Amino acid sequence: MNADERRFAVLRAIVADYVATHEPVGSKMIVERHNLGVSSATVRNDMAVLEDEGLIAQPHTSAGRVPTDKGYRLFVDRLAQVKPLSSAERRAVQAFLDGAVDLDDVLRRSVRLLAQLTRQVAVVQYPTLTRSTVRHCEIVQLTPARLMVVVITDSGRVDQRVVDLGDVTSDDAVSQLRTLVNGALVGRPLAAASAAVAELPNTAPADLRDAMIAVSTVLIETLVEHPEERLLLGGTANLTRSAADFPHSLRRVLEALEEQVVVLKLLASAQERSMVTVRIGEENEAEEMRDTSVVSIGYGPGTVLGGMGVVGPTRMDYPGSIAAVHAVARYVGEILAGR
């Protein structure tokens, strides 16, 4: 290997050993643990160059070095391959998520899985409703004058409302209502679906108009975007096991994680299903999160419905965390596609 390749191999060794031991890494340790085929003197020279380039630093007077944020960034950018989950881990992930009964359960299980697999804090954003589309609307006659309207979105969200018609209606009229409503709703984003439903009373047959007004009113209330963004967090206690990794303040990090706005911003870059985003240390916008790294990805059956990921110290197992986040997001997307 040439000098640049060898220096990157030295950096990779420092990252691996520091993540594993949380101790500064010296040239002797690198020579003993990693088969680089060079002497300790060569490794020391390479470490001097890496330090000049700002990729590693000497935390105190010991001979060891630790990676900097810049060093972690180069390491992540040049990952030749992500450490895949074992076949046993993949089966366990799939079996655990397949057991979920609804969207809430899928997301709760995802948070628990990510926290267990990575030993970091796991974060999952509930589907952003503006990105959801209507998959189906079912209208069921409960009594001759009362209906149940069930709206199902592609994110797995199910809303059901009761509609009091005030008048008796027939099975045939309910069937017509169902056909007209689905014609206006199915495949449309929620905002567009709401606008389409508002027009239905004007185009419905005269004998269905009153019933359509009642159904449309309830549907519009159901489809209107809920302003709050919901998040699930899991494994917060994992951070306390590595308090020394947060030189400024672990408490600041924990308080920031309680602020939904901060966490939503961390997930804001997760706009693609297949691409994992890694933000390291100073790359995080929020000052309280500058001691952390965030590994995130978008999830969904086709379009991205929300983000998920993990938050931990910059001294993180990046290949393992990236693999876990990617795998869980993929399984969640498959589950939502099949519902």
Residues 234 and 303 in one domain: yes
Question: Do residues 117 and 242 both lie within one domain?
Answer: yes
Q: CB of 257 within 8 A of CB of 231?
A: no
pLDDT band at 259 (very low <50, low <70, confident <90, very high): confident
Structure tokens at 254: 């924990």
Q: What is the mean pLDDT of residues 206-234?
A: 81
- What is the domain-level CATH number for residue 192? 3.30.390
Task: Give residue 100's pLDDT.
Answer: 85
* 267 class by beta-carbon count within 10 Å (0-12 exposed, 13-18 middle, 19+ buried): buried
Domain ranges, residue 203 = 133-224
Question: What's the whole-number mean pLDDT along residues 137-160?
Answer: 86
Confidence of residue 197 (pLDDT cuts 50, 70, 90): confident
pLDDT at 174: 92
Question: Which of 147-161, 189-203, 216-230, 322-336 bottoms out in mean pLDDT, i.e. has the lowest?
Answer: 216-230
Residue 175 reports pLDDT greater than 90: yes
Residue 125 carries which DSSP code? E
Which of 160, 193, 224 terminates a domain? The answer is 224
Top-confidence residue, 8 or 169: 8
Q: Where are the beta strands (DSSP E) in 60-110?
A: 66-67
Same domain, residue pair 214 and 265: no
Collapsing DSSP to helix, strand or coil, 292 comes out as strand
pTM: 0.76
Looking at every residue in the chain, the average pLDDT score rounds to 87
Chain segment 110-123, per-residue pLDDT in tens: 999 999 999 999 99
Q: Domain with 53 in it: what CATH number? A: 1.10.10.10
Asked if residue 195 and residue 105 are part of one domain, the reply reads no
Report percent pLDDT > 90 for the chain: 45
Using alpha carbons only, how large is the chain's radius of gyration in Å?
26
Residues 220, 241, single domain; the answer is no
Q: Model confidence over 287-304: pLDDT tens digits?
A: 889 999 999 999 988 778
